[in-house]
């Protein structure tokens, strides 16, 4: 067994003895696809290791193999903690101290904190009855070990996402745990909460627990990772120390190509102001927000989760009415009570969650593009004119170069990037004067991201539309906006112009990641 | 066409993904009590009893109370079974058909000349109930169809098959022991007219079932797993729970209780008819929903269910005492159920509206 | 010409995969029934029998389909149809003068139908308000209103059957225009209108969107609450039209008429390709499914199967249809995943 291991050459295995996970020649094929193709993957005991890659790069397949959810093709060598494993199922992984925390968490919202933490106890103890004393003891000790303080009897449904995540971590580090896999754990956390999570990960490291951290937020990777493995197209590109990398290089490694971003063309002088917001307030959401956007201008709004950015956008879109203040479109004051009214007033909003808010996944591409303009494609006898809606849809598909099998295909068959373009089409079809984009490139790969950005900039160049781009990714607003508003806890703190020192300002002064 | 498990609570479309409840204040015991539907239910029941007692002096007597407990036994036993199915995230309204089939087969054994042993007679409906319950579980688990539609199908199959077997005949003239048990009671009282009455055996069966249910739900792993399954099916799967075994338990437990309720109803009325229980499922649904169980699963209590059953029976009883024609009873039950589910939904709706999540500086 | 037909069928088949098997199934059922009954099945008298029940069944199935497309269900259709029928019957009996002339007759019948429609709309408004605006789950709402409406009908009729409608009213149930019974014409017109609403009106499209994803539909500027309100009103009105037909055909109304039809409507919707989880459904599929099931029932009757056995058979068929739809869906899902993976690889 030992010989077999030394045969495989790898410069990153500093010491074979210290490896916790040491997988060689791992492949996974699906009909027509090679999700993983002869990949070696390893990291050490107690290491904080990051796994990065685009969608479809094979990183989630690897996680599933490590956690025993799926089995690799024959021929793989899998060594966990020095023992060679021939076939591994979910239970074997758990027995070897591997725990996974999925992005959507595995908690029971209707049960209390203590029961969620100690849920595994039911499987560990004998007899049909629950020992409530043991449940409480276990919950208390688990919470203590990561310095978490919560009312044991609170229902999990009443906790914030960050608290829920910590409850799940507390629940999974019980027993003889060696590896914690976190799948995109920071996606919906505020900065403070991310700090708290990272502190917890470091605490676990002190106890000798390794963390495999999967993320697409590159700056967070630099902050927490000891080493980074990059996957691309089902193959391993390499293992790196964070200090060898920077943002640009990492993107290059992930995509295999350099993405050059050009700043947007300057706004034409004398371009009219299309949107003005004055002293807009809504209790518990945001306060005294004032700004304006001119035709052809892209205004960035950045801020952490919980800064009120999405709530503000929803107010402009009529779905979260402001309590005071006023909104002007082309100098005329408007009241938007509903999003239908906002659409009529020329406002369009691309929501942050494509899957649940942006698209009707099982329905056709045609249906999704025309949903906003059904009233406009009414023809003879006040009936829908199918040929007109079809030609309109084709027009947008061409303009945004959406790759699709047919107009009748369900949107869920498209890739993330093409799906996002369908969302853009459906709103651009309404001919908006103001386009609000809320996190328009979350969860889509770098190329699709770039093509969305290019399209948005082209759109602005036309000079008849004002664009508001909301993002918590600093580089997205820096590269694509004319001006940037920084929001925090419901207030606009400052306005920043992209430029040489803008990045430093955003990162340091406002502590944005 | 997508055949996935029923959608998580629909119509939460105003709930933005970033708008999470971030209230962290610790509530004290009293305000906690007022978040529980049991508290409201108890108050409503109390007020109702008080009002009816003032209007009709015959209502607030030990005799009437014991009578209410006796007539509630059938609905009460079924409600507890239904509660189990609801908690693990399902819905089944075929249990009255199960109860009818079970009690009819029992009655056939009772009146047969073959002298079937008493134990066998009583085991028949229980076994039949469990069998039909597990058929429901298998179909719902395997075919991933909405459980209400599977229930509608099974309801009709069971009633249809029973009609074929029975030809619509009623069965009565049961043995003496069956009659004695039906009329039996403990804690005898004698009222001013010299009549004896007490706590019926039927009520005792109901109470025993309720105690078992409390123990299972609160103090066994099985019970906690049912709650877990109803709360988050995906998490339950990931924690390695066997969804099929849990469903099989819940539905066959409902079937078992349907069989038991069939016995209780036959003991009560001393007749068995193939269509006597048609429509009684609504009392059960009404009681459990009134009792605060969540229609989407994951929440519900035996205490609330008991109060819900009592509330339904007290309303019917009061309407009779107040000489309101029987035709109107169903109107009242329907209105009460609609009012109760509306209030529950409305409270959830308003709570979501009020959510303010950002600590604006 | 044959090649042209095959091509057309192929394209129809591709666009309507969920109901493409139904024409064949219909053909097979008709063939089996004809052979099994030794030709009795195809006699004119039997065909008339077969068609007679279809209108009310079809109307009630449409009433079930509309909420089902929005991922809801309406369990109260039968009881709301009965309540509507009873109120119309009482009106007809109370108002109709002895020996009235032709003009008065028409006015009174039209008045009765108008009253019936108003009652249906009110009943539907209650369902729609609770589902759409109070956000009570549809199953619970309509289970509650089912009890309530049946209770109201019981209270109004005191449990009696109201019978003997005016002769003129019964024409709806037995007169013919151009050889077609009037109630059949009513059904065909309503089915056509519903098909047009579903596929060619914005509201119809909204129904499907709400059924698939109410959140995304709301974000697209559609007033989901109002769509749901309308859904249950339309469902109730369709049940009301069924009540008009039923009252004429049975010449009577009562609180518990046709309670076994609830199963039939669910079965017809499911076989006709309506997805109980919402988002998909076709009127054409529903009509074909109804004809198939009526043919089966009718054939079994001819073969001497008793009517309560039919109920059990329908129940078993519903289980069969659920199973068939489930396996069909699994097949599509596998195909879809394969396609998606292949695309990701590119």
Task: Tell me if A363 and C202 make a contact (CB, 8 A cut-off).
Answer: no
Domain count, chain B: 1
Q: Does B21 touch chain A (CB under 8 A)?
A: yes
Q: Is the pLDDT of residue B16 over 70?
A: no
CB atoms within 10 A of CB A386: 14
Q: How many other CB atoms are found less than 10 A from the CB of residue B211?
A: 11
Task: Give kind and range of the element (H or E) at residue A446.
Answer: helix A446-461
Tokens 């099982």 -> residue: A362
Percent of chain A residues past pLDDT 90, beyond the cut: 40
B361 → closest Cβ in A160, A353, A489: A489
Report the Cα C271 to chain-centroid distance in Å: 12
Q: Is B87 exposed, middle or buried (0-12, 13-18, 19+ CB in 10 A)?
A: buried
Which residue in this structure is represented by tokens 């797993």? B225
* Cα–chain center distance at B66: 20
Domain boundaries, position B123: 58-276
Per-position DSSP letters for B143-154, written without gaps between them = H---HHHHHHHH
Residues of chain C in contact with residue A373, where contact means CB-CB under 8 angstroms, are none
Inter-chain residue contact A426 with C220, CB threshold 8 Å: yes
Chain C residue whose CA is closest to B144: C326
The answer to whether B198 and B189 have CB atoms below 8 angstroms apart is yes
Residues C212, A362: C-beta atoms closer than 8 Å = yes
User: What is the rounded CA–CA span in Å between residue C204 and residue A228?
Assistant: 52
Whether residue A182 contacts residue A128, with contact meaning beta carbons closer than 8 Å, is answered with no
Cα–Cα–Cα angle for B61, B66, B69, rounded to 5 degrees: 130
* Average pLDDT over all residues of chain A: 86
**pLDDT at A16 > cutoff 60:** no
SS3 A52: strand
Residues in chain C within 8 Å Cβ distance of B146: 73, 276-277
Q: Say which residue, C278 or A11, is predicted with more confidence.
A: C278
Residue B187 lies in a domain: yes
3-class secondary-structure state, position A327: strand
| pLDDT band at A8; cut points 50, 70, 90 | very low
How far apart are the CA of C258 and the nearest CA of chain A, in angstroms? 36
Q: Is A319's Cβ below 8 Å from some Cβ in C?
A: yes
pLDDT tens, position by position, A469-492: 999 888 889 999 999 999 988 899
pLDDT in tens, A74-95: 888 899 888 888 888 877 888 8
Instruction: Spell out the residues 6+ positions from residue A346 whose beta carbon is closer than 8 angstroms to its own.
Output: A329, A431, A432, A433, A434
Distance, in Å, from the CA atom of A496 to the CA atom of A487, rounded to the nearest integer, reads 11
Residues 6+ apart with CB under 8 A from A445: A54, A55, A56, A255, A416, A417
Q: What are the φ and ψ backbone dihedral angles of A228, each rounded to 5 degrees?
A: -130, 130
Longest dimension (CA), chain C: 80
Tokens of C35: 């052979």
* CA distance linking residue C321 with residue C326, whole number of Å: 8
Q: Is residue B244 one of the residues assigned to a domain?
A: yes
Distance CA(B245)–CA(C145), nearest Å, equals 34
A300: β partners = A469, A484
CATH number of A2-255: 3.40.50.300
User: What pLDDT was estimated at residue B104?
Assistant: 94
Higher pLDDT, B7 or A352: A352
CA–CA gap between residue A469 and residue B161 (Å, rounded):
64
Lowest mean pLDDT among A116-125, B159-168, C101-110, C337-346: C337-346
Query: Taking Cα atoms as reference points, which of B208, B212, B325, B200 lies closest to residue B265?
Result: B200
The token pair at B152 is: 């509608």
**Measured between alpha carbons, how far is C8 from B205 in angstroms, rounded to an integer?**
66
Q: How far is A429 from chain C (nearest CA, A)?
A: 12
For the cut 90, the answer to whether the pLDDT of residue B127 exceeds it is: yes
The SS3 assignment for C87 reads helix
User: A50 pairs with which residues across the strands?
Assistant: A213, A228
Lookup: tokens for C64:
């079930």
Distance, CA of B152 to CA of B240 (rounded, Å) = 31
Predicted local distance difference test score (pLDDT) of residue A31? 67
Task: Classify residue B26 by its DSSP letter.
Answer: P
Per DSSP (E only), the strands in A295-357 are 298-302, 324-329, 332-334, 347-350
Q: In this predicted structure, what is the pLDDT of residue C173?
A: 86
Identify whether B334 is part of a domain.
Answer: no
| Level-2 CATH architecture, domain A273-346+432-509 | 3-Layer(aba) Sandwich (3.40)
Residue C98 has a pLDDT of: 66
Phi, psi of A149 (to 5 degrees): -120, 115
A283-308 mean pLDDT: 90
Do A329 and A434 touch, CB atoms closer than 8 A?
Answer: yes
**C-alpha–C-alpha distance, residues A40 and A42, integer Å:** 7
Q: Which residue has the tokens 């063309």?
A: A265
Using CA atoms, how far apart are residues B159 and B132, in angstroms rounded to an integer?
A: 12
Q: For residue A367, which residues of chain C lie inside 8 Å, CB to CB? A: 205, 208-209
Q: Does A87 touch chain C (CB under 8 A)?
A: no
Taking CB atoms and an 8 Å limit, are B1 and C280 in contact across chains?
yes
- Of A98, A120, A122, A113, nearest in space to A143 by CA: A113
Domain spans of chain C, in order of start: 39-257
Interface test with B, best of A98, A110, A183 (most B CBs within 10 A): A110
Kindly report the nearest CA distance between residue B353 and chain A, in angstroms.
Answer: 10
Q: Which residues of C touch A (CB under 8 A)?
A: 15, 196, 199-202, 205-206, 208-209, 212-213, 215-223, 279-280, 336, 338-345
Q: What is the pLDDT of residues A199-257, one digit of tens each?
A: 889 988 988 899 998 887 777 888 889 999 999 888 999 999 988 888 778 888 888 87
User: Taking Cα atoms as reference points, which of A47, A41, A50, A51 lies closest to residue A78?
Assistant: A41
pLDDT tens across the length of chain C (346 residues): 788 888 888 888 877 878 888 889 999 999 998 888 888 888 888 888 888 889 999 999 999 999 999 999 999 999 999 999 999 999 998 877 666 667 788 888 999 999 999 999 999 999 999 999 999 999 999 999 999 999 999 999 998 999 888 888 998 888 888 888 899 999 999 999 999 999 999 999 999 999 999 999 999 999 999 999 999 999 999 999 999 999 999 999 998 888 888 989 999 999 999 999 999 999 999 999 999 999 998 888 888 887 778 888 889 999 999 999 888 888 888 887 777 666 655 5
| A319-328 average pLDDT score | 93
Chain length of chain C: 346
Q: Looking at beta carbons, which residues of chain B come within 8 Å of A123?
A: 239-240
- Check CB contact of A351 with chain C, cutoff 8 Å: yes
For residue A473, give the nearest of A216, A242, A255, A183 by alpha carbon: A216
CA neighbours closer than 13 Å in the CB half-sphere of residue B74: 23
**CB within 8 Å: A375 and C202:** yes
Nearest to C147 among B156, B157, B337 (CB): B337
- Give buried/exposed letters for A43-79 (b at 16+ CB in 10 A, else e): bbbbbbbbbbbbbbbbbbbbbbbbbbbeebeeebbbb
* Chain B residues lying within 8 Å of A132, measured CB to CB: 219
In terms of Cα–Cα distance, which of A385, A451, A380 is closest to A420? A451
- Residue B33 pLDDT: 61
Pairing status of strand B196-200 against strand B185-190? antiparallel
Q: Do A413 and C223 touch (CB under 8 A)?
A: no
Chain C closest CA to A212's CA: distance in Å? 25
Identical topology for domains A2-255 and A273-346+432-509: yes
Residue pair A159/A150 in contact (Cβ under 8 Å)? The answer is: yes
To test the contact with chain B by mutation, choose from C75, C129, C260, C322 the residue with the greatest count of B C-beta atoms within 10 A, namely C322
| Selection from A373, A374, A356, A495 nearest residue A419 by Cα | A356
Q: Confirm or reject contact between B226 and chain A (CB < 8 A).
A: no
CA distance A509 to chain B (A): 17
Q: Do C147 and B333 touch (CB under 8 A)?
A: yes
Q: Does position B253 have pLDDT exceeding 90, yes or no? A: yes
Q: CB–CB of A254/A53 below 8 Å?
A: yes
Position A244 scores a pLDDT of 87
**A270 backbone dihedrals φ, ψ, rounded to 5°:** 80, 5
Dist CA A226 CA A201 (whole Å):
12
Q: For the stretch A171-200, what's the b/e string if a residue is b when 16 or more beta carbons lie within 10 angstroms of its beta carbon?
A: bbbbeebbbbbbbbbbebbbbebbebbbeb
- Given a contact cutoff of 8 angstroms between Cβ atoms, the answer to whether A350 and A427 are in contact is yes
Whether B118 is covered by a domain: the verdict is yes
Alpha carbons C219 and A352: distance in angstroms, whole number: 11
């Amino acid at each position: 067994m030992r010989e077999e291991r030394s045969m495989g050459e790898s410069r990153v295995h500093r010491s074979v003895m210290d490896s916790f996970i040491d997988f060689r020649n791992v492949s996974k094929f699906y009909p027509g696809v090679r999700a993983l193709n002869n990949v070696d993957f390893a990291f050490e005991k107690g290491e904080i290791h990051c796994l990065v890659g685009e969608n479809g790069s094979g990183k989630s397949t690897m996680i599933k193999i490590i956690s025993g959810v799926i089995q690799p093709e024959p021929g793989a060598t899998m060594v966990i903690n020095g023992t060679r494993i021939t076939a591994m199922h979910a239970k074997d992984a758990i027995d070897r101290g591997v725990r996974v925390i999925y992005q959507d968490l595995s908690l029971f919202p209707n049960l209390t904190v203590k029961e969620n933490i100690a849920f595994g106890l039911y499987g560990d103890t004998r007899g049909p009855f629950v020992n409530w004393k043991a449940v409480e003891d276990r919950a208390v000790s688990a919470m203590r070990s990561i310095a978490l303080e919560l009312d044991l009897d609170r229902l999990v449904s009443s906790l914030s996402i960050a608290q829920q995540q910590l409850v799940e971590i507390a629940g999974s580090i019980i027993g003889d745990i060696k590896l914690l896999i976190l799948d995109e754990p920071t996606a919906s956390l505020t900065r403070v909460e991310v700090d708290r999570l990272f502190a917890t990960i470091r605490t676990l490291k002190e106890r000798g627990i390794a963390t495999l951290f999967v993320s697409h937020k590159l700056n967070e990777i630099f902050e927490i990772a000891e080493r980074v493995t990059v996957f691309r197209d089902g193959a391993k590109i390499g293992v790196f120390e964070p200090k060898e990398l920077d943002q640009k290089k990492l993107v290059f490694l992930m995509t295999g190509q350099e993405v050059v971003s050009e700043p947007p063309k300057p706004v034409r002088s004398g371009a009219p102001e299309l949107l003005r917001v004055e002293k807009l307030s809504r209790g518990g959401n945001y306060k005294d927000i004032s700004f304006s956007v001119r035709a052809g201008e892209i205004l960035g709004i950045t801020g952490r989760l919980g800064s009120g950015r999405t709530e503000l956008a929803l107010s402009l879109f009529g779905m979260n009415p402001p309590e005071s203040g006023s909104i002007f479109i082309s100098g005329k004051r408007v009241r938007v009570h509903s999003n239908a009214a906002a659409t009529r007033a020329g406002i369009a909003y691309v929501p942050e969650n494509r899957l649940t808010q942006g698209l009707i996944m099982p329905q056709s591409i045609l249906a999704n593009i025309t949903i906003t303009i059904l009233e406009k494609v009414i023809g003879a006898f006040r009936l829908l004119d199918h040929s007109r809606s079809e030609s309109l849809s084709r027009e947008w598909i061409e303009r945004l170069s959406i790759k699709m099998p047919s107009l009748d295909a369900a949107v869920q068959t498209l890739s993330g990037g093409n799906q996002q373009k369908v969302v853009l089409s459906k709103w651009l079809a309404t001919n908006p004067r103001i386009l609000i984009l809320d996190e328009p490139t979350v969860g889509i790969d770098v190329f699709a991201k770039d093509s969305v950005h290019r399209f948005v900039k082209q759109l602005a160049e036309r000079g008849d539309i004002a664009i508001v781009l909301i993002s918590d990714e600093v580089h997205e607003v820096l590269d694509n906006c004319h001006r940037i508003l920084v929001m925090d806890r419901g207030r606009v703190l400052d306005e920043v112009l992209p430029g040489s020192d803008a990045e430093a300002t955003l990162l340091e002064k406002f502590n944005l990641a | 066409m997508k055949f996935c498990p029923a959608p998580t609570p629909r119509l939460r479309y105003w709930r933005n993904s970033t708008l999470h409840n971030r209230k962290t204040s610790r509530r004290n015991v009293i305000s906690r009590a007022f978040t529980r539907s049991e508290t409201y239910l108890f108050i409503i029941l109390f007020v109702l009893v008080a009002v009816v007692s003032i209007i009709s002096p015959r209502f607030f007597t030990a005799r009437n109370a014991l009578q209410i407990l006796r007539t509630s036994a059938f609905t009460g036993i079924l409600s507890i079974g239904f509660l189990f199915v609801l908690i693990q995230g399902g819905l089944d309204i075929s249990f009255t058909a199960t109860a009818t089939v079970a009690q009819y087969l029992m009655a056939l054994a009772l009146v047969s000349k073959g002298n079937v042993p008493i134990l066998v007679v009583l085991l028949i409906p229980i076994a039949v109930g469990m069998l039909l319950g597990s058929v429901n579980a298998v179909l719902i688990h395997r075919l991933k169809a909405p459980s209400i539609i599977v229930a509608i199908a099974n309801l009709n199959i069971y009633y249809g098959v029973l009609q074929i077997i029975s030809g619509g005949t009623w069965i009565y003239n049961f043995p003496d022991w069956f009659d004695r048990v039906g009329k039996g009671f403990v804690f005898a009282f004698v009222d001013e007219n010299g009549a004896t009455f007490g706590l019926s055996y039927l009520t005792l069966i109901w109470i025993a079932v309720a105690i078992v249910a409390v123990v299972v739900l609160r103090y066994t792993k099985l019970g906690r797993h049912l709650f877990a399954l109803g709360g988050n099916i995906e998490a339950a799967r990931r924690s390695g729970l066997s969804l099929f075994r849990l469903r099989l338990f819940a539905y066959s437990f409902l079937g078992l209780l349907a069989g038991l309720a069939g016995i209780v109803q036959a003991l009560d009325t001393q007749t068995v008819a193939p269509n006597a229980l048609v429509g009684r499922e609504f009392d059960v649904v009404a009681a459990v929903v009134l009792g605060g169980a969540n229609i989407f699963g994951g929440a519900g209590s035996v205490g609330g269910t008991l109060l819900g059953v009592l509330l339904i029976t007290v309303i019917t009883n009061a309407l009779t005492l107040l000489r309101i024609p029987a035709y109107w009873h169903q109107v009242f039950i329907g209105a009460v159920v609609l009012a109760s589910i509306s209030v529950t939904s409305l409270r959830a709706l308003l709570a979501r509206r009020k959510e303010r999540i950002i600590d604006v500086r | 010409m044959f090649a042209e037909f095959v091509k057309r069928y192929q394209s129809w088949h591709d666009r309507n995969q969920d109901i493409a098997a139904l024409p064949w199934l219909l053909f097979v059922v008709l063939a089996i029934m004809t052979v099994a009954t030794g030709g009795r099945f195809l006699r004119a008298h039997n065909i008339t029998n077969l068609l007679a029940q279809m209108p009310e069944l079809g109307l009630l199935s449409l009433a079930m389909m509309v909420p089902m497309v929005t991922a809801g269900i309406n369990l109260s259709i039968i009881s709301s149809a009965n309540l509507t029928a009873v109120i119309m019957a009482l009106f007809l009996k109370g108002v109709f003068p002895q020996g009235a002339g032709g003009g008065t007759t028409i006015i009174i019948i039209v008045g009765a139908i108008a009253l019936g429609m108003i009652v249906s709309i009110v009943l539907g408004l209650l369902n729609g308000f609770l589902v759409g605006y109070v956000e009570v789950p549809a199953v619970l709402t309509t289970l509650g209103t089912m009890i309530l409406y049946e209770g109201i009908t019981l209270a109004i009729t005191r449990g009696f059957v109201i019978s003997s409608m005016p002769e003129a009213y019964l024409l709806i149930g037995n007169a013919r225009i151009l050889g077609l019974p009037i109630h059949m014409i009513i059904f065909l017109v309503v089915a056509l209108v519903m098909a047009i609403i579903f596929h060619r009106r914005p509201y119809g499209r909204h129904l499907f969107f709400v059924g698939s994803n109410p959140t995304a539909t709301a974000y697209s500027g559609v007033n989901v609450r109002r769509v749901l309100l309308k859904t249950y009103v339309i469902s109730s009105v369709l049940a009301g039209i069924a009540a008009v037909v039923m009252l004429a055909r049975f010449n009577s109304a009562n609180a518990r008429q046709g309670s076994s039809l609830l199963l039939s409507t669910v079965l017809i919707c499911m076989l006709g390709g309506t997805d109980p989880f919402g988002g998909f459904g076709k009127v054409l599929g529903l009509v074909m499914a109804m004809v198939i099931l009526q043919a089966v029932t009718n054939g079994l009757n001819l073969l001497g199967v008793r009517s309560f056995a039919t109920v059990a058979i329908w129940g078993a068929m519903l289980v069969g249809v659920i199973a068939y739809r489930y396996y069909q869906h699994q097949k599509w899902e596998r195909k879809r995943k394969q396609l998606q993976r292949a695309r990701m690889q590119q």
